[in-house]
Structure 1
Amino acid sequence: MLLVGMKLFGGIATGSAALIADAVNSIGDVASAIAVRGALSVAQLEEDDDHPYGHTKAESIAGLCVALLVAFSAGLFALETAKRFGGELKVPGMLAGVLAAVCAVVKETIYRYTNRVSKRLDSSALRAAAWDHRSDAWASAGVAISLLAAPYMGKWAPYVDPMAAVCVCIMLVVTGIRIFSSTARELMDQQASDDIVDRVRELSSTVDGVQDVEKLRVRKSGLEYFIEIHVEVEGHITVAEGHRIGHHVKDHLLIQMPRVRDVHVHIEPHEE
């Protein structure tokens, strides 16, 4: 909210469209942060009769909304800024460039913190928010350089500000599309990363009685994982013994991988 106030004040006081564009994006940041916070609270709710798999996808939905909000707001402001080329243009004051530089430093700091947390939790919503902050930092830095250099660019000076604003918006649209694509794949239950799958396979293979892992599906839902695994056991053992091995596989995975929400184990007879 502080960044929104700074950018709006500077943009209106100096007449800088680029700084106002940056402020519009920061307003989107505030809204997306509230949405992500609410979604993470919903995602932690336990399963119920209507949601037997829990509410973890709320986190991914929030990431999707952030991406759409970033792209839509940036595209809309780019169109409005482009209309200014047909009117009278002026060179913003140096204050706009200084404010943009301060905002770039603050945004980069927020990005580094949020990105570190998103990696620790493997959260798509926080990852989307982090990259939104990074794009803001780049945008603010570009605006700062452009506005500080504008007074020394002669006849091109009046065009620097709206061109910087349009470039910022285009970059934000591309960022929004990239985040949307990444989060959409998660909502479509794409197979988890190779590192996660390989770890599940390795842990399962160490359980006493497991001869091999035949089929393995791991999907990410919010901050947690759901596993479907087919393990091979000796074909001559009893059903009760096979059932016991299956439970050992499930318990072992739940203990060794705390972010696994549930494991479905299917027993297959092992053939040489």
Structure 2
Amino acid sequence: MTQYDDIKQGEKGAWVSIAAYIALSALKLGAGYWFVSGALVADGYNNLTDIVASVAVLIGLRISQKPPDKDHPYGHFRAETIAALIASFIMASVGLQVLISAVRSIIAAEHAMPNLITAWVALFSAACMGVVYWFNSRLAKRIQNQALMAAAKDNLSDALVSVGAAVGIIGAQFGMPWLDPIAAFAVGVIICKTAWGIFYSSTHALTDGFDEKELKTFRSTIAKTKGVISIKDIKARVHGSNVLVDVIIQVDPELSLIESHQICDDIERRLGRKHNIMGVHVHVEPLEEAESPSNSTMN
């Protein structure tokens, strides 16, 4: 199965999320407005933003399947990241609206008592999103797709949000009606926090930022490759769900071109096998005489 086939498989997870969010948002908003639960309404709006985010992931996966062309020699994999960035802005705007509505309800002198039915709706929704999370996380691990794994984590957070909404609604049944708008406020905070997390990771990737700890593990793998004397420089960047690595190694100057090329192939295979990195560019330089181990020992 090729890399593009894996991305195609990832579309299944996006479609499952979209279908679940459409059904659950309609159920939550309908029940929340009918049975007067601010927490359930906020949770419903949360799912509406998730529909947009899932559609963005789906569009990104579709565009990512386009092969490289003259304008995109590395392919179109970053479409996933751009789509996620757009989704984060939409999620943040909805989260702020939920927060404003919740604060107004908290400040109000009277709070409506939500019907206990809304708590059951919230718990049912949490169970459904738990199943969706299980499906998407398994699929994401199997095809090793970071975008789908991020969507799966969002599924899990949505399940937890629904549990929180249920707690607020149940608490309101025991003489604490203010707990329902408090739960709605907490949902708004979670929406904004999720939006910020997506925004940060997307902008970090688009500006070629990379985790230094992960880069050290790549360096360690390369350094253990037979024939590599030292690593002069190493860089990595995220390209959609892929990682591209550029490394400059130093080898014995007495090696032939064929032997040096073999070292490059070994590095590519090791990074692919141990870290699932398919885009590796290795530049080979001869170890300078002043840097040779034998010369430094004589001195």
Query: Is the CA contact 1:230–1:268 (under 8 Å) kept in the aligned structure 2?
Result: yes
Query: Is the CA contact 1:253–1:260 (under 8 Å) kept in the aligned structure 2?
Result: no
Instruction: Give the paired residue count.
Output: 264
The answer for the alignment partner of 1:24 in structure 2 is 45
CA distance in 1, matches of 2:70, 2:263: 27
The answer for the alignment partner of 1:223 in structure 2 is 241
The answer for the alignment partner of 1:147 in structure 2 is 169
Deviations 1:114-158 (A, max 9, x none): 3344455554432432232222112111111121231222xx32x
1:65 paired with 2:79, answer no
Q: Please, which of 230, 251, 256 is the counterpart of residue 265 of structure 2?
A: 251
Q: Please, which of 83, 97, 120 is the counterpart of residue 76 of structure 1?
A: 97
Matches within 5 A, 1:1-272: 1-84=22-105, 85-86=107-108, 88-119=110-141, 123-153=145-175, 156-157=176-177, 159-192=178-211, 194-195=213-214, 197-199=216-218, 201-203=220-222, 205-207=224-226, 209-237=227-255, 241-242=256-257, 244-256=258-270, 257=272, 259-270=276-287, 271-272=291-292
CA distance in 2, matches of 1:134, 1:78: 21
Tell me which amino acid in the other structure corresponds to 1:251: D
* Identical residues among aligned pairs (%): 28
Q: Structure 1 residues 190-199 or 174-183, which shifts more?
A: 190-199
Q: Cα distance 1:263–1:227, how it changes in 2: closer, same or farther (>3 A)?
A: same
RMSD: 2.5
CA distance in 1, matches of 2:29, 2:76: 37
1:182 Cα offset (Å): 2.4
CA distance in 2, matches of 1:227, 1:185: 16
Q: Structure 1 residues 30-39 or 90-99, which shifts more?
A: 30-39
CA distance in 2, matches of 1:149, 1:80: 20
Q: Cα distance 1:188–1:135, how it changes in 2: closer, same or farther (>3 A)?
A: same
Structure 1 stretches lacking a partner, 5+ long: none
CA distance in 2, matches of 1:246, 1:229: 14
Is the partner of 1:206 in helix, strand or coil? coil
Deviations 1:65-116 (A, max 9, x none): 3333322211112112322343753101111111011111222232233334
Q: Structure 1 residues 91-100 or 115-124, which shifts more?
A: 115-124
Q: Cα distance 1:192–1:41, how it changes in 2: closer, same or farther (>3 A)?
A: farther
1:246 Cα offset (Å): 4.9
TM-score of the pair, normalised by structure 2: 0.78
